[in-house]
Amino acid sequence: MYAKTTLANGIRVVTDTMPAVRSVSIGVLVDASPRDEAPEQSGLAHLIEHAMFQGTSSRDAMQIARLMDVAGGQMGAFTSRDYTCYCATVLDDYRTYALDLLGDILLNSLFPTESLEREKEAILREIAVGRDTPGERTHALLKAFAWSGHPLGRPVVGQPDTVRSLTREDVIYFVHEHYLPGRMIIAAAGSVEHDDFVAQVRDAFWRLLGQSEPRASTRPTYQTGVTMEHMPVSQAYFSLGVRACPYTHPDRYSLHALNSVLGGGISSRLFRRIREERGLVYHIGSEYHAYRDDGMLVIEGSTDPEYLAEVLDLTLAELGKLVNTDGPLEDELWKAKMQIRGQHIIAAEDVYTRMSRLATQELYFGRHIPTDEILDQVETVNGHTIRRLAADTLRDTPHQIAVAIVGSDVSQRCSTSAVEELLTGLQ
């Protein structure tokens, strides 16, 4: 059962009561993210997420860590390109306890300088791990290239030089500027009663005051073409990004179905054609990445460097078929709908997923979207809508496609000009 209340200070509280469970998942979604950073402060939002657990006026970092462990379940935070979320999934016995702790760290964190320096070092290690992981590196390179000059293109964790330069004053200013009631959504799903939870949120967050300035949102410029980076690995890793619609676009359901047909599983076209029929890759697949002001259909995989050009050619050929007469077959579309339906319903049995959906739907749409409405929209997708979407998405190809490649001497095996020629050949 869904319910919503807006507190006097502007915080939105949304709940989804699930009577048959003993657990509850609580999330504080803050509409503050890397898109609010200056370029020279890249990584600031992510550093703050780390720093929130390093001590408050009443608890030090060790006490916070012990309390998180004692509660069982899971408690933590993450930073995305659109928002930051602090969350806890615990037994309902610890609901008040978890909410009090979340309120304490968000309202009373002290951000000690010595702790910030330690967290910066930890984040530098995190950046290094990502750069040592070829799949992650290729993905980051793709978005940095395609959305160059826009916050969507900057890594959430920041760059080593920008992270090192961040100060306690930067952290405090960002929190005071962006961690405001109008930018907060507090969601709970599971064993929770709405009015009782609203009262507990009011007790934990009543001191949070202030008005947030509206944020301008413009669709970024999308850069197309090819970028390559040397990395001493045996395989050639690639990420191919096709510009797609933003999170709230009416075509989002058709795009999810298109993604399923193209690369959303082991029966998808890319997997069957390139892995099963040709044996050129171990894994290949696609995902739809959607944000507030833009989106991307990302196809990723790896292969031996000598087969890279062939794999990219086959991948682009499958994209071309979707645009032309060889759109999704009836059984492919049925499978895609069943896959989306099953994944949505199964995930909804998890309290964390239900909480996350509540919070993100409130952020992006300003309302709750019932499961029946979502499934009805999925059911309306047909072959014509997918072919139209594919044509719109790939219109003026290669002007909608960016490719990032990471590997050892890949430029000798498959030059930038050769890949650009493949893109030009896609009609």
168 lies in a domain? Answer: yes
Sign of the dihedral defined by the CA atoms of residues 185, 189, 194, 197, in that order: negative
Q: What are the DSSP E strand ranges found in 102-235?
A: 184-190, 225-230
For 252, half-sphere exposure in the C-beta direction (CA atoms, 13 angstrom radius) is 14
31 with 170, same domain: the answer is: yes
218 lies in a domain? Answer: no
CATH of the domain at 330: 3.30.830.10
373 with 230, same domain: the answer is: yes
d(CA 77, CA 54): 13
211 lies in a domain? Answer: no
229 with 194, same domain: the answer is: no
97 lies in a domain? Answer: yes
200 with 233, same domain: the answer is: no
Mean pLDDT by 10 residues, the chain (427 residues): 96 96 96 95 97 91 82 86 96 91 94 95 96 96 96 96 97 96 97 96 93 79 92 94 94 94 93 96 96 96 94 91 75 93 95 97 97 95 86 67 89 63 63
The pLDDT assigned to 381 comes to: 92
268 with 416, same domain: the answer is: yes
162 with 302, same domain: the answer is: no
198 with 244, same domain: the answer is: no
Looking at residue 254, what DSSP letter applies?
H
Could you tell me which residues come within 8 angstroms of residue 155 by beta carbon, excluding any fewer than 6 positions away? 42, 43, 127, 130, 140, 144
The pLDDT assigned to 17 comes to: 97
Q: How many domains does the chain have?
A: 2
391 lies in a domain? Answer: yes
271 with 392, same domain: the answer is: yes
305 with 361, same domain: the answer is: yes
Asked whether 274 and 314 are in contact (CB, 8 A), the reply is yes
285 with 155, same domain: the answer is: no
11 lies in a domain? Answer: yes
Give rounded-to-5 percent helix, strand, coil for the chain.
50, 20, 30
d(CA 367, CA 2): 10
8 lies in a domain? Answer: yes
**Structural domain range at position 62:** 2-205
Among candidate residues 205, 236, 263, the one where a domain is terminated: 205
Among candidate residues 140, 172, 205, the one where a domain is terminated: 205
Supply the residues annotated as catalytic: 49
215 lies in a domain? Answer: no
The pLDDT assigned to 24 comes to: 95
Give this prediction's pTM: 0.92
Among candidate residues 149, 176, 205, the one where a domain is terminated: 205
104 with 7, same domain: the answer is: yes
Sign of the dihedral defined by the CA atoms of residues 50, 126, 80, 338, in that order: negative
From the CA atom positions of the chain, what is the Rg in Å?
A: 23
306 with 192, same domain: the answer is: no
